[in-house]
């Protein structure tokens, strides 16, 4: 048995040993399941197809995740609509362009299904109530169902289905304050472990090196550097902690854009601040897709944009509280 499997079973065993055998009630074991999901995601090989539902729309993708010498590699392919293929490795994102993999950006906030944030879990107990809802089957696997309900109306409710054996996240749903589905990811077919195709991973050299099949981007518009900008937002909900503050050039902008990211462990909020350039598109507006909402507004000589996996009124509240403390 692999060491990772042994560690997982120890984690699971300890959490089950000391947890009350009660379902449908608040239970600290719900938070332990999140830790297990995070651990399993970084230790498990898997491949499968999943469905993403939002706003009465459905899309299907295939994901393959393997652990190699240089860390985890993840390939994501669209199975409907335009053909797309990306690879994620060490927080970097690569796209299949002109028969080569070219770096197109970095993953700076919440990971995509079936990943969750690898940190910032300490504040969850202060801002969510975890409830065990029993067991269900997803894609042929037994799953523990856990509900995370916020203590305020500034964030969404999260519901997860976790494979009871491997700890892999099999299904994840976001619900609004009326328990209406906002978005949902769910595996429909899944292979965990075993013989999984890894021919697409160049094992001999790390990404970005000649001959690896992966090439660094030449466009520097996505590269940022840490700053202490002096910008703050008093309307950030309790429990969100700043995880990043950078300045970065953006395509079409002459001046760098300040980006500040906050997370509460289950969702993230990003603030973008740039000089207003008089573009006719720079008008106040609110838009959204699934759990992701975006609000931008011109304030004085600046254009503020707030985007996050929170309700619309939360991104509006955050934007209206942005100020510069003079640092």
pLDDT recorded at residue 35: 87
β-pair partners for 302? 275, 299
Whole-number Å distance between alpha carbons of 12 and 321? 42
Q: Give the pLDDT confidence score for residue 282 in this predicted structure.
A: 66
pLDDT score, position 125: 85
pLDDT in single tens digits along all 327 residues of the chain: 343 333 333 333 333 333 334 344 556 788 999 889 988 888 899 999 999 999 999 999 999 999 887 788 999 999 998 888 888 877 777 776 544 545 444 544 445 677 765 455 667 888 999 999 999 999 999 999 999 999 999 999 999 999 999 999 999 999 999 999 999 999 999 999 999 988 888 643 344 433 445 445 444 445 678 899 999 999 999 999 999 999 988 766 667 899 999 998 889 999 999 998 777 666 789 999 999 999 999 999 999 999 999 999 999 999 999 999 875
The CA distance from 123 to 136, in Å, is 28
Burial class (CB in 10 A: 0-12, 13-18, 19+), 101: buried
Q: What is the pLDDT of residue 112?
A: 65
Tokens of 276: 């207003």
Closest C-alpha among 42, 29, 2, 22 to residue 164: 29
326 — phi, psi (to 5°)?
Answer: 85, 0
Strand order in the sheet with 71-78: 128-138, 141-150, 157-163, 169-175, 181-192, 46-54, 57-68, 71-78, 85-89, 92-97, 100-106, 214-215
User: Which tokens go with 49?
Assistant: 């197809």
Q: Which domains does the chain possess?
A: 3-215 (2.50.20.10), 220-324 (3.30.200.100)
Of 211, 224, 198, nearest in space to 101 by CA = 211
Q: Which residue has the tokens 């991973």?
A: 201
Q: Which one, of 143, 155, 149, lies nearest residue 114 by Cα?
A: 143
Tally of CB atoms within 10 A around 122: 11
- Indicate yes or no: pTM above 0.75: yes
**What pLDDT shows up at residue 70?**
75
Structure tokens at 220: 């520097």
Burial class (CB in 10 A: 0-12, 13-18, 19+), 189: exposed
Q: How far apart, in whole angstroms, are the C-alpha atoms of residue 77 and residue 84?
A: 6
């Amino acid at each position: 048995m692999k060491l990772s499997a042994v560690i997982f079973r120890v984690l699971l065993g300890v959490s089950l040993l000391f947890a009350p055998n009660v379902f449908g009630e608040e239970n600290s074991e719900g938070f332990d399941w999140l830790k297990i999901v995070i651990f399993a995601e970084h230790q498990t090989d898997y491949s499968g197809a999943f469905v993403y539902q939002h706003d009465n729309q459905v899309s299907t993708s295939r994901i393959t995740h393997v652990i190699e010498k240089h860390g985890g590699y993840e390939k994501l392919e669209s199975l409907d609509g335009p053909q797309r293929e990306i690879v994620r490795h060490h927080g970097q994102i690569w796209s299949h362009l002109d028969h080569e993999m070219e770096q197109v950006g970095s993953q700076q906030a919440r990971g995509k299904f079936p990943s969750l944030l690898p940190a910032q879990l300490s504040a969850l107990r202060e801002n969510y109530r975890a409830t065990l809802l029993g067991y269900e089957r997803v894609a042929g696997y037994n799953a523990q169902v856990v509900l995370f309900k916020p203590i305020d109306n500034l964030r969404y409710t999260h519901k997860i289905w976790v494979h009871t054996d491997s700890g892999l996240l099999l299904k994840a749903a976001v619900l609004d304050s009326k328990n209406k589905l906002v978005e949902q990811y769910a595996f429909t077919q899944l292979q965990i472990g075993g013989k999984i195709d890894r021919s697409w991973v160049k094992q001999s050299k790390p990404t970005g090196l000649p001959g690896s099949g992966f090439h660094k981007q030449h466009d520097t518009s996505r590269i940022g550097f840490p700053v202490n900008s002096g910008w703050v937002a008093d309307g950030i909900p309790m429990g969100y902690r700043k995880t990043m503050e950078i300045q970065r050039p953006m395509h079409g902008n002459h001046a760098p854009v300040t980006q500040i990211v906050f997370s509460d462990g289950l969702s993230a909020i990003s603030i973008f601040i740039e000089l207003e350039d008089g573009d006719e598109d720079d008008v106040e507006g609110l838009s959204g897709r699934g759990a992701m909402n975006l609000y931008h507004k011109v304030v004085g000589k600046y254009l503020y944009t707030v985007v996050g996996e929170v309700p619309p009124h939360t991104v509006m509240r955050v934007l209206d509280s942005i100020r510069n403390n003079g640092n």
